[in-house]
Amino acid sequence: MLPEVVTGLSLLLLFVALQGALGWPENRGATTVLLAHASIGMAYVAVVVQARLAGFDRSLEEAAADLGAGPFTVFRTVTLPLIAPSLAAGWLLAFTLSLDDVVVASFVSGPAGTTLPMLVFSALRMGMTPEINALGAVILAVAGLALGLAGWILGRNASGPG
């Protein structure tokens, strides 16, 4: 819990200093929450993508460039499809950690901003309600549908075309 408190407090102090020096952000809310969670999530995404790039075969890019593809075309047709799974994994990891990070959100959100995890956490202080149970069921159903869709896509790709 302590690293989250330190991170949240340091981001709060950063936003207060920026507001004093530049006048931006005008008030703390969705923008500061988005910036805080993006800066935290970037570290996780960078590690996942860096691990994928460590085993990356550069000769594929060189072959595409030798065949006349420009740098953007090489990136779009060779590099991006090869690192796409790591980008997706990094996004899912960052999203999950962002959804879980109530402490940082409570520091940087300000008095008017409330995120869904903060709302759930504050509602649970009063006890379990049917709304919280319904929200949990919806989140579980969406995760189950996403998992089923991913399994269907992977199964379809493994069997090959037609």
What is the C-alpha separation between 162 and 154, in angstroms, rounded? Answer: 15
Question: Which tokens go with 52?
Answer: 């994928």
Average the pLDDT over 113-120 and give the result. Answer: 85
Say which CATH number the domain at 8 has: 1.10.3720.10
pLDDT band for position 138 (cuts 50, 70, 90)? very high
In a domain, 46, yes or no: yes
Average the pLDDT over 104-129 and give the result. Answer: 86
Does residue 144 carry a pLDDT above 90?
yes
Whole-number pLDDT of residue 160? 60
Q: Give yes or no: residues 88 and 25 share one domain.
A: yes
What is the C-alpha separation between 123 and 144, in angstroms, rounded? Answer: 25
Q: Give yes or no: residues 133 and 92 share one domain.
A: no
Instruction: Specify the residue for token string 């962002």.
Output: 98
Range of the domain at 143: 128-162
What is the C-alpha separation between 115 and 102, in angstroms, rounded? Answer: 8
Radius of gyration of the chain (CA): 21
In a domain, 118, yes or no: no
In a domain, 92, yes or no: yes
pLDDT band for position 81 (cuts 50, 70, 90)? very high
Q: Give yes or no: residues 16 and 54 share one domain.
A: yes
Q: Give yes or no: residues 137 and 61 share one domain.
A: no
Q: Give yes or no: residues 107 and 137 share one domain.
A: no
Question: Which tokens go with 5?
Answer: 């408190």
What is the C-alpha separation between 100 and 60, in angstroms, rounded? Answer: 39
Total number of domains in the chain: 2
Write out pLDDT tens, residues 88-97: 999 999 999 9
Burial class (CB in 10 A: 0-12, 13-18, 19+), 32: buried
Q: Give yes or no: residues 103 and 69 share one domain.
A: yes
Q: Give yes or no: residues 156 and 106 share one domain.
A: no
What is the C-alpha separation between 39 and 11, in angstroms, rounded? Answer: 10
Tell me how many degrees the CA angle 37-39-45 measures, rounded to the nearest 5: 95
Q: Give yes or no: residues 88 and 146 share one domain.
A: no
Q: Give yes or no: residues 73 and 153 share one domain.
A: no
What is the C-alpha separation between 121 and 104, in angstroms, rounded? Answer: 13
Whole-number pLDDT of residue 1? 65
Q: Give yes or no: residues 40 and 16 share one domain.
A: yes
Q: pTM for the full model? A: 0.80
In a domain, 49, yes or no: yes
Q: Give yes or no: residues 98 and 147 share one domain.
A: no
Contact at 8 Å (CB) between 41 and 98? yes
What is the C-alpha separation between 120 and 94, in angstroms, rounded? Answer: 20
